[in-house]
Every structure is written in C-alpha cells, then in structure tokens.
Amino acid sequence: MTSNLLASQVTFAQESYLRPVPFTQVNIDDVFWKPRIDKNRLHTLPHSYHLLQTTGRLAAFRLDWEPGKGGEPHIFWDSDVAKWLEAASYSLANVPDTELEAQVDEAIALITSAQQPDGYLNPHFTIVEPEMRWKNLRDNHELYGAGHMIEAAVAHFQTTGKRTLLDAMCRYADHIAATFGTGPGQLRGYDGHQEIELALVKLYEVTGEKRYLQVAAYFVNERGRSPHYFDEEAVRRGDNPRDFQHQTYEYNQSHVPVREQKEVVGHAVRAMYLYSAMIDLARETGDGTLLEACHTLWDHLCRTRMYVTGGIGTSRHNEGFTADYDLPNETAYAETCAAIGLVMWSQRMLRLDCDSRYADVMEHALYNGVISGVSQDGTLFFYENPLASTGQHHRQPWYDVSCCPTNIVRLLPSLGQYIYATNKETLAVHLYIQSEARVYVGEQELTLRQQTNYPWEGAIALRLQMNAPTAFRLKLRIPGWSRQSTIKVNGEDIDLNACLEQGYATIGRVWNDGDEIQLDFAMPVERVYAHPAISFDVGRVALQRGPLIYCLESADNPGALENMFLPMDAEIEASYDPQFLGGAVIIQGKALRYEEDDWAGQLYRTTPPHPVSHTMRAIPYYLWDNREPGELRVWLKSC
C-alpha cells in the first residue's frame, strides 16, 4: 500500500509541480541585472580565479604538499574551487569564452588527477590528515565539499556536455553511498555542514541513478536520531562529545529529527541548504511530511527571524539564529551565503506550491540581502551585511573563508532559472526582469518576451510568440509590496480580484501568437515598521520602494545619522538619477536633525536639543559602501 501511494504521489509531482525554465533558455537583457551579470563574467570570475591560484586552493589538488611546507590545504578549500567551476560553467553557457573554457578544463584535469582509487576526493584528508578521513563529520566539511563538487560537475555537464568531472563525481558519490547507510560495515553518519543532500538530488536528476536519491534521503532521515552519531564518533576519536564549540546540535540542525523541527535554529547557511534538500526530496519522493516540516519552518523564519533586507542570521558566534525578534542592526551577521540559501529554498518552495509569499521573499533577498554582498565593480565582497554601521565595515577582495564571494559568482550567471517556471498546463512568471525565454508548456514551444524597467518602474509588458494557438494558464505574480496593480490582455482590463490565486493573477485561455499582457504596479515610497517585539527598531522607520529597501549613508547626509528623525508627515519623493552608481532611484525628503554645535561643551543640560530641518537622501541598501567610508542606517528614528 505504501509503495503504491508513493508512486501516485510522485506521478502527481512530475505532472503538476512547476519546473524552473533553465537559465540557458532565458536571455536577460535588462538595465539592472545585465550589467551585473556582465561584470560577474568580466571581473568577478577572473578575480576569483586569480585568488584561487594565489591562495593555493587550486594547487592543493596537485597533492604535493608536505609537512613543514607553507600553504597547508584547508578542509574546505575544495568547495571554493567547486563553486568557481560551477559559476564558470554557467558563464560559458551564456557567453562562449575560449580562455575561460581552457581554465575550466585545466582545473578539472587537476581535480580529477587527485581522485583516489576508491573514488575519494579531498586534498586535505588525502595528504594532510589521511588518518582522519570520515572520522569527524561534525566539523570537517568532507561531505560539504563533496556536495559542492557534485554541483559543479552537474553544472559543467549540463552546460558543456563534457563528462570528465561528472564521471569523477559519480565515482565519489558511489564511494559515499558505499560508506554511509544502515547496512553492515557502513557508517550511520551525516554531514555537519549540509550540502551533500541537495547535490545528490541534482546528481540523481541528471543521471537517473536512484541510488543517489536514496543516499540523499538517508542523510536527511538519519539526521538527529538517537543515539546521536556525532556523540558516537567523538567517543571513537577519544574526544569528549561535550567538548563542542557550539555546545548544542541546534547549531547544525541535528538536535532532533528533521520532521520534528519547528523553529529555524543554528547556523543559517546550513539550515537553508538542509531545508532546500528537504523540499527536493519531498518533490522527488512525494513525502508530504517533509513539505509540512518546511511549511512550519518557513513560517517561523519569516514571522520572527528575518531582517527587513531579507538577510537572515543574527549572531557572529554561530553565524546564525538566536531568538525570536532578536534582530540587532549594527551587529547583524546576515551572511551573504545565507541570503543566497534563502533564494534557493524559496525557489524550491515555489515548485511545490506556487504561492507569491515564496517569490516575494526570493525577490526581496535577491534585490537587498544578496547583491549587497558584491561591490559595483565586482571585485569586493561582504561576508556580513549589517543594517547599521559607524563606518568601519567594508567589503573585502577575499576572505580566508571565501564561501560568500564564490557563492555570489555562481548565482549571477544562473539568475535566469529563477524568473519563469512551467508544467504541462501552466507558465508562471515569478520575477520581473527584462528577458526573452524559450519555454515549453506541455509539448508546445513558445517564446515569452518581457520588457520592463523594473525595479525602477512598475510597468511590465509581456508578448507571446508561438506557432499555433495554445491553451494554458498564465500565472503572473502580484508582488506583496504592491498596493495597486492593473492587468490588461490585448488592451482589455482583467479583473484582478476574480483571477487571483495565492498571490498570482491566473489567466487561463487559448493564447495566440502576438498576444500581449500589460502589468502595472504602483511604486510609491512606503514607510515600513517593525514588530514591537523587535526592540532595536521600536520608534523607528525604514523606507521601501518596490522590492528595494533604502538606507542612509554619511556621504549624502553629513553629521551623525543617529541624530536624524523622519517626521510621520514628512513628504518623501523618489526620482531616478542616471549618474548615481550606474543609475538608481533616489529618495529625498525633509527630516529633522539634532545639532551639536549649541551645547557649548556641556555633556548634559535641562533644556532639550533643538531640531533643525535637513534634506534627507536615501539610496538602495544594496549600493551602500561603494563610495567614501561613513555611517550607515536602514532604520531611522521616527517622530
């Protein structure tokens, strides 16, 4: 009975779940994202490659390091190389480049030369600590690195058709499948830093080998069971299981089995990768309990533990979550990788349930918490993304732990896959990015052309091109930030209230070649207020226009930003400035500021400070720290 039920659920999933349109079928040519994708290709990719070389990350695969020699290969250097390979593969699919292709081929040859006869592939545990192979899954990132290398192999095969890295990673996955599980002689372990789970699902999808899906399901299902594996392996190493830096297995989401987890806890990136894998498995196996768990976790995150920028993770101590409503601004961690992980999880939730709340969060993270992580020139990066700064926090060209630079570099060239999705009867538009997509709805091929100046303007025009009339449902996301929206089909008004389904305008009809759809979202500047339990933001206001959160910098607002107040009735205007950092809509309004020059050296006095009028100038949050150093504020005092 169970197997029959599972089979029917999988059939339902294959026919009804939305499948992202591959980025290779989407050509982005808008004024906002296209320059960023180009800079990623022309500047960030070569910058990252240079640093992979100069820091020894690529050279580690030569396996020629010896004790006493400098540049000891780190336990997760392989993941940085893998993410660069994944990014380079995506970039090559978009724009052929013989020099980049040669670098990729050379790197793959070097990587595969380091693979051991049994399939194992990790430079550190091959030449630095071979006796520790698979001995400390809690801390040593072996499966994490393997996961990223598998993702790189899948990307490289899908975009180039070459099998060298894919075949090597299949051998590695076979070794992992033989090593871990519930069978005789196998280790009943799982990774301390989640990643392998979602990677194995990708490997299953491209190879059709069910064993990889089964191993992914094993890793997810085994996590958090008692007796706890990390305790057992610590005892086998001769260590005290309690001698653990983070003191709790909430840190890596292994404190209880995944289906019993009700709150997002611990390391934010690990959580996002785990939840992404849980949704992948729910989709591929029809396991509704995993979907239910993700619904619970999603609601908890978005209602209590997410920054207004879409950033997640409060604390530097655990690079993750603390308590409900604990969202400080100046000490916000909000790791770039975590925001990227939230984008990944959001897209997967959309595949199972086309609900605009997932697309809203995906968009919000992309436009704020993700692209803030890279400078306008593409060569400097944020690891942490605070919402307030005294002027000491700046992007860096690289980090000893460079997961964020290499994560950004792989996201941008694959952005097209987040815009559209289809199944046999539906075409969904999740994001509004000027582009042309070649899609299939059922067996019918069609082209969708999207024209827009989003996010600066809310007008979007869609045009369909097809060989024959085709019946399908077109689902158009109505952004959660939009208070006034209109839709026309071939010039005729559509009743939005009559066709709204889970935040998507759903229009089912026979579509013809040349049909046009116009959407218009009003984009006024809005004041945003935080939940009263967020003590850091009580009495404060943030500014939002469309999907963008705004901030104040000292470069535009001389004096202490903490002394500034935005009156409740102050008029605020938005205008496009084509000269500002590549072009952006800037917000201006009348604010009040407490001046310090009339205090005559007094520290305290019995008369209140006198406020003076000040022209406030706010810029999109993602653009901060691209000019001279200075203060930053997202949340302003309100009066």
User: How buried is residue 400: exposed, middle or buried, by Cβ count under 10 Å (0-12/13-18/19+)?
Assistant: exposed
CA distance 154 to 607: 68
**374 close to 47: Cβ distance less than 8 angstroms:** no
Give the CA distances from residue 593 to residues 557, 565, 613, in Å, rounded to whole numbers and listed in that order.
10, 6, 6
Residue whose C-alpha is closest to residue 385's, from 317, 320, 334, 338: 334
Name the residue type at position 567. P
User: How buried is residue 615: exposed, middle or buried, by Cβ count under 10 Å (0-12/13-18/19+)?
Assistant: exposed
**330 close to 386: Cβ distance less than 8 angstroms:** yes
Q: Which helix (H) or strand (E) segment is 617 a member of?
A: strand 611-620
The structure tokens listed for 398 are 């690289």
Name the residue type at position 45. L
Name the residue type at position 82. A
CA distance 484 to 471: 28
* Contact residues for 138 (Cβ-Cβ < 8 A; gap 6+): 192, 230, 233, 234, 244, 252
Give the CA distances from residue 336 to residues 309, 460, 574, in Å, rounded to whole numbers and listed in that order.
11, 29, 28
**548 close to 634: Cβ distance less than 8 angstroms:** no
Residue whose C-alpha is closest to residue 244's, from 88, 136, 121, 360: 136
DSSP code string of 381-400: B-SS--SEESS----BS--S
CA distance 341 to 278: 13
CA distance 397 to 549: 25
444 DSSP β-pair partners: 441
Residue whose C-alpha is closest to residue 414's, from 343, 336, 483: 343
- Residues serving a catalytic function are 319, 403
DSSP code string of 293-355: HHHHHHHHHHHHSB-TTS-B--BTTTTB--STT---STT----HHHHHHHHHHHHHHHHH---
Give the CA distances from residue 20 to residues 79, 157, 393, 534, 636, in Å, rounded to whole numbers and listed in that order.
25, 18, 37, 36, 39
Report helix angle 2-16 to 268-285, nearest 10: 100
